[in-house]
Structure 1
Amino acid sequence: MRDLVAVQDALRDAHPPGWRWTPGSLVAGCFAAPARGHAGPGAAGQPVWAGAAAYRGRRCVGRAARPARAGAGYAFGLLALRFGAVLQAVVAALPERPDVLLVDATGLDHPRRTGLARHLGAVLDVPTVGVTHRTLLARGDWPPDQRGATAPLWLDGELVGHWVRTRSGRRPVAAHAAWRTDAETAARVVLATAGHRTPAPLREARRLARQARAAAASAGYGATRYR
């Protein structure tokens, strides 16, 4: 745990070159689905299924899914211990390296400004954007109920992301600045890839992870028998 905090502190002070969204970029998403039936924060060694999907425009051009084990239980601000290695491996299994990666985690919205989305991007050397349904520490009012509307998310006076209304009549999602992306770029990538409320690459990654988990359960390798 102390090692991870030290890494997060070092990454907080890192200032890599910024990345800007351009149409035609290869956008991937990754998602980790823990085994069902576990209460509380979980623990190291529990089964996890990870999915990743890469899109160019509206077309999915690469998919990957794999079983793994959680590196730790959940602890506030230390999600990389639980899912970092799992997500790193499934993204590496994609047939092509993405230009930008969407992660179900925060980036600068973190006590040390190094949420899992930012940390994973640094490890993979890929620009990243965090996409979550809630913020971790950041605060900001929701945008108007109109697709494309955004509203800033602030943490201690720093702009760390935007609420993004990807569909009218639905809750906005939080687009987090992470590795080599700022808040404006994060919002732009989320809007450009969101056919539904959740951006397509992340939505497909989530489906793949849950599908793999369901297949394992059907085969008799559930939470208690997974090896």
Structure 2
Amino acid sequence: MRRPIALFSFVLLTTGSLSAQHPRLGIKAGLNASTYAGASLPRSDYQFGATGGLLLQRPLNQHVDLQSELLYEQRGSELRYSNRAEGVTFTTIDYIRTVRSRLHYGSLALLVRPHQGAWFAVAGPQLSYLVAEKRTIRDQVNVVVGPVDPVLPDGAARTVRNKQDYNRGEAGYVLGIGREIGARWQVEVRYAAGLTKLRQPSVVVDAIYGPERVQHARNRSLQAQVSYLLPAQ
């Protein structure tokens, strides 16, 4: 992961020589609707979170800008696993685990921004680093056959914080479209996706729910953002 980060930082530092026109600094904020994607995942629901940070636009020519961004992003998902098993008193049960995750990332993106009139698009790579995470886990049991087993989970939620379960670095990409509103405001919608696997192997979850279900998940986000370009100095 170190080599892509170093290369990406070098590109950002050298973009100043690409154009003699003045760069435009701005701030942005928005909303993420994020989830996990993967062929073997259980049902994965969207989680809503905030995003915000800084942007820097450097014109390359009349219709294309280079836009770098430094963002804070809240991501996550709600996964629902189910497994039928036998209880210790020969009770047949449906064992259901709900895992709601909240992931906090710092992201650095380098985007090409073609524009025509008030409309523009953005596309390019993004590198993210996991700063913090929290999972709320709830285990529930539905008895299918037999008496209620007194040792079964009572449905109480518990909180887990363990970044070691996740890959800290993530390589991904961004695609979006937007519109300028006046000289300084702009709104956009975008799709952001991770190319790096989200999770490290988790012995407890994998033993109960299967070895491939979580390890191959990747982040996916739909985003709506509003940006404001600061006055030129």
TM-score by length of 2: 0.27
TM-score by length of 1: 0.27
Higher helix residue share? 1
Larger radius of gyration: 2
Higher strand residue share? 2
